[in-house]
C-alpha cells in the first residue's frame, strides 16, 4: 500500500531563550520522524529561542512610527506604533518610511508588496503582540537569525529528508524562511497553507510532514 502524506503537529512545553531549538526539536520528534519526512518549525519559536524579541514597554515610539503605522492594514503586525517602531529600530527609521512611500507609488503602477522588499528582511517577519504563544504573546518577535543554518543543523541531527522554518498564519499565507536541499520550497509551502502550527494554547510549534519525499517526487513527475 502506498504511503500517504500526513501532517503531524508536535506538542512541546513553552520554549524560551534558554533553549536550543535543535535540541528541543530532537527531544520532541526523535520517536516520530523518519528518513522520508520533512520537519517544519514555526519561525517565531525559532526566533524566541534566539532571544530575538522585545517588550513593547521598552520601546520609545517616534512620531514617524506613529504616522507610518496608519498606512498598514489593521491585520498586519506593523499596524501598531509598537510594531512599526520595532521594525524601524532594526532596519532604520528613514529606510522604512521611504520604503512605505515608494511601495505606495509602486502599487499605483501595479507592483504590490514592494514595501516588504525595500523595507528590509524584518518587514515581513515581525510578529506583533498576540502573534505567538504565551507568554511571548505580550512581546514583539523578530524573524529568526541565520535560518538556513538552523535547518541544516536540524536535518543533520534528525537524519530526516529535510527541514524547514516557515512563517504561516490563519489568513492562508505560507512563506519559507529557511529550507534545506533537496526540499522544494513551493511544494512544501503549499502543504502548510492551512496552518498546522499551534502557537497559542495548543503549543504545537513543530509539524512533521510524513512521507514528504514520496509526495515531492510525485508532484515533480
pLDDT for the residue numbered 129: 74
- Is the separation of the CB atoms in 7 and 1 below 8 Å? no
Task: Report the distance separating Cα 133 and Cα 113, nearest Å.
Answer: 27
131: which DSSP letter? S
Co-location of 107 and 34 in the same domain: no
Answer yes or no: is 48 within a domain.
yes
Answer yes or no: is 1 within a domain.
no
Range(s) of the domain holding residue 188: 6-52+143-219
- Is the separation of the CB atoms in 7 and 208 below 8 Å? yes
Place of cell 520604503: 99
Domain termination residue (choose one: 106, 140, 174): 140
Average the pLDDT over 3-32 and give the result.
Answer: 93
Distance of CA 44 to the CA centre of its chain: 5
Mean pLDDT score across all residues of the chain: 91
Average the pLDDT over 167-192 and give the result.
Answer: 91
Kindly calculate the radius of gyration of the chain based on its CA atoms and give it in whole angstroms.
18
- pLDDT one-digit tens code per residue, 48-90: 999 999 999 999 999 999 999 999 988 888 999 999 999 999 9
Q: What pTM does this model have?
A: 0.87
Co-location of 24 and 69 in the same domain: no
- pLDDT one-digit tens code per residue, 109-167: 999 999 999 999 999 889 887 656 667 878 999 999 999 999 999 999 999 999 999 99
Q: What is the share, in percent, of the chain residues with pLDDT greater than 90?
A: 78
Query: Dihedral through CA 76, CA 77, CA 78, CA 83, nearest 10?
Result: 160
Domain termination residue (choose one: 110, 140, 170): 140
pLDDT for the residue numbered 198: 67
- Residues belonging to the chain: 221
pLDDT for the residue numbered 1: 36
What domain count does the chain have?
2
Measuring CA to CA, which residue among 25, 49, 6, 40 is closest to residue 180? Answer: 40
Amino acid at each position: 500500500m502506498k504511503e500517504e502524506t500526513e501532517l503531524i503537529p508536535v506538542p512541546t512545553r513553552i520554549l524560551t531563550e534558554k533553549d536550543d531549538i535543535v535540541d528541543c526539536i530532537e527531544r520532541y520528534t526523535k520517536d516520530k520522524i523518519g528518513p522520508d519526512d520533512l520537519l517544519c518549525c514555526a519561525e517565531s519559536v525559532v526566533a524566541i529561542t534566539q532571544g530575538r524579541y522585545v517588550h513593547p514597554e521598552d520601546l520609545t515610539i517616534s512620531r514617524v512610527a506613529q504616522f507610518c503605522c496608519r498606512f498598514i492594514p489593521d491585520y498586519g503586525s506593523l499596524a501598531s506604533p509598537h510594531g512599526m517602531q520595532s521594525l524601524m529600530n532594526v532596519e532604520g527609521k528613514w529606510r522604512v518610511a521611504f520604503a512605505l512611500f515608494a511601495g505606495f507609488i509602486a502599487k499605483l503602477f501595479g507592483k504590490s508588496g514592494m514595501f516588504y522588499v525595500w523595507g528590509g528582511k524584518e518587514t515581513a517577519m515581525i510578529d506583533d503582540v498576540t502573534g505567538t504563544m504565551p507568554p511571548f504573546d505580550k512581546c514583539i518577535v523578530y524573524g529568526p537569525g541565520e535560518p538556513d543554518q538552523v535547518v541544516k543543523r536540524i536535518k543533520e541531527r534528525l537524519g530526516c529528508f529535510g527541514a524547514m522554518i516557515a512563517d504561516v498564519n490563519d489568513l492562508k499565507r505560507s512563506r519559507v524562511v529557511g529550507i534545506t536541499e533537496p526540499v522544494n520550497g513551493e511544494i512544501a509551502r503549499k502543504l502548510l497553507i492551512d496552518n498546522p502550527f499551534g502557537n497559542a494554547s495548543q503549543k504545537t510549534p513543530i509539524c512533521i510532514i510524513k512521507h514528504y519525499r514520496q509526495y515531492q517526487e510525485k508532484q515533480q513527475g
